[in-house]
Amino acid sequence: MRVNRTRRFYNGCLLTEAHRDCVEVVLVSPRNPLNVGAAARAMANFGFARLTVVAPFEAHWREAKSAVGAPELLRNAQECATLAEALAHCTLVVGTGTRTRRKAEQPAILLPVLVPWVVEELARGGRVALVFGPEKHGLTRDDLSHCHLLVEIPTDARQPSMNLGQAVAVCLYELARSRPRDAESAQPGAVSPPADSGTLDRLADVIEEAMSASGYAPPTMQQANRHDLRVMLRRLAWLENDARRALGLFRRILWRLRHPGSG
């Protein structure tokens, strides 16, 4: 009887540590610390270590007993007041949820299709964020305006929602089982890195200011315009150099609008 001597290499399919270090899990306003702990445990299972918690309901979420084997991951997790702050340095932001109650404003894909997007982003030096919403209602329309993609986990229509910790585990498993050589051999397709979320937010802010200064829309439309700008800018897949150039352009336009008599 032959002994299978390849068993000790069962985890050889995991993404490299360098690639996993460029993937972040972001939990938005989680209510139950046990779910935060379960998410941390799932991250540890698949070798992911970067966790950010946005505006948690419970102050003592770092003490969750459900983070079996991952207490250090919880201690090292970042806490942010806003989603924009949490995503500022990320270049591909993937929101999670379903389309049962809303129409997606960004490309919506099923989870198995996500891997090529992530592999391409890692190959061109980007950082990826997987964003999960609160247990009761998931990500809001405003939350999703910060996302480049909406990914859905295929589930039975009779029970489309998943526990937060389970959703994190399923998504990370799908990423972890992608072959490391896919990301290593992919050729960068850009002459500059992709624009991160913080740069796009600054660009949206200055465009919004220029719109306001030019009388483009009444103040009552400000919130809707801000939302639409965030969504549109992420659809355009900006490179960092192009986004910074556009930022300078709109800042100059704004200055001219505010100083019409200047030379």
Asked if residue 151 lies in contact with residue 112, where contact means CB atoms within 8 angstroms, the answer is no
Same domain flag for 130 and 23 = yes
Same domain flag for 167 and 239 = no
In a domain, 3, yes or no: no
Confidence class of residue 263 from pLDDT cuts 50, 70 and 90?
low
Same domain flag for 56 and 129 = yes
Quote the domain boundaries for residue 213.
Answer: 197-258
In a domain, 2, yes or no: no
SS3 94: strand
Confidence class of residue 88 from pLDDT cuts 50, 70 and 90?
very high
What pTM did the predictor assign?
0.85
In a domain, 156, yes or no: yes
Range in 96-100, 130-134, 198-202, 212-216 with the lowest mean pLDDT: 96-100
Same domain flag for 155 and 201 = no
Sign of CA dihedral 219, 224, 229, 230: positive
Same domain flag for 165 and 212 = no
In a domain, 161, yes or no: yes
Q: Which of 138, 155, 185 is the last residue of a domain?
A: 185
Q: Tell the residue number behind the tokens 């939990």, with chain if given.
A: 27
Q: Select from 128, 102, 178 the least CA-distant residue to 26.
A: 128
In a domain, 72, yes or no: yes
Q: What is the DSSP string of 179-242?
A: -HHHHHHPPP--SSPBPPHHHHHHHHHHHHHHHHHTT-S-GGGHHHHHHHHHHHHHHTT-BHHH
Same domain flag for 175 and 203 = no
Same domain flag for 135 and 62 = yes
Mean pLDDT of 116-134: 92
Torsion, Cα of 203, 207, 212, 214 (10° steps): 150
Question: For position 184, what pLDDT does the model report?
Answer: 52
Domains in the chain: how many in total? 2
Q: Select from 90, 15, 17, 16 the least CA-distant residue to 52.
A: 90
pLDDT digits (tens, 9 = 90+) for 211-248: 999 988 888 888 899 999 999 999 998 999 999 999 99
In a domain, 62, yes or no: yes
Same domain flag for 154 and 250 = no
In a domain, 58, yes or no: yes
Q: Which of 144, 163, 185 is the last residue of a domain?
A: 185
In a domain, 192, yes or no: no
Asked if residue 147 lies in contact with residue 106, where contact means CB atoms within 8 angstroms, the answer is yes
More confident residue, 229 or 99: 229
Indicate if the pLDDT at residue 7 is higher than 60. no
Same domain flag for 17 and 96 = yes
Q: Which amino acid belongs to residue 215?
A: G
More confident residue, 100 or 196: 196
Same domain flag for 171 and 203 = no
DSSP conformation class of 6: T
Q: In this structure, what CATH number is given to the domain that contains residue 154?
A: 3.40.1280.10
Mean pLDDT of 89-116: 88
Same domain flag for 81 and 150 = yes
Indicate if the pLDDT at residue 4 is higher than 80. no
SS3 143: helix
Question: For position 189, what pLDDT does the model report?
Answer: 47
Share of residues in the chain with pLDDT > 70 (%): 88
Indicate if the pLDDT at residue 185 is higher than 70. no
Mean pLDDT of 36-58: 95
Q: Which two tokens stand for residue 46?
A: 């698949």
Question: For position 15, what pLDDT does the model report?
Answer: 73
Same domain flag for 109 and 223 = no
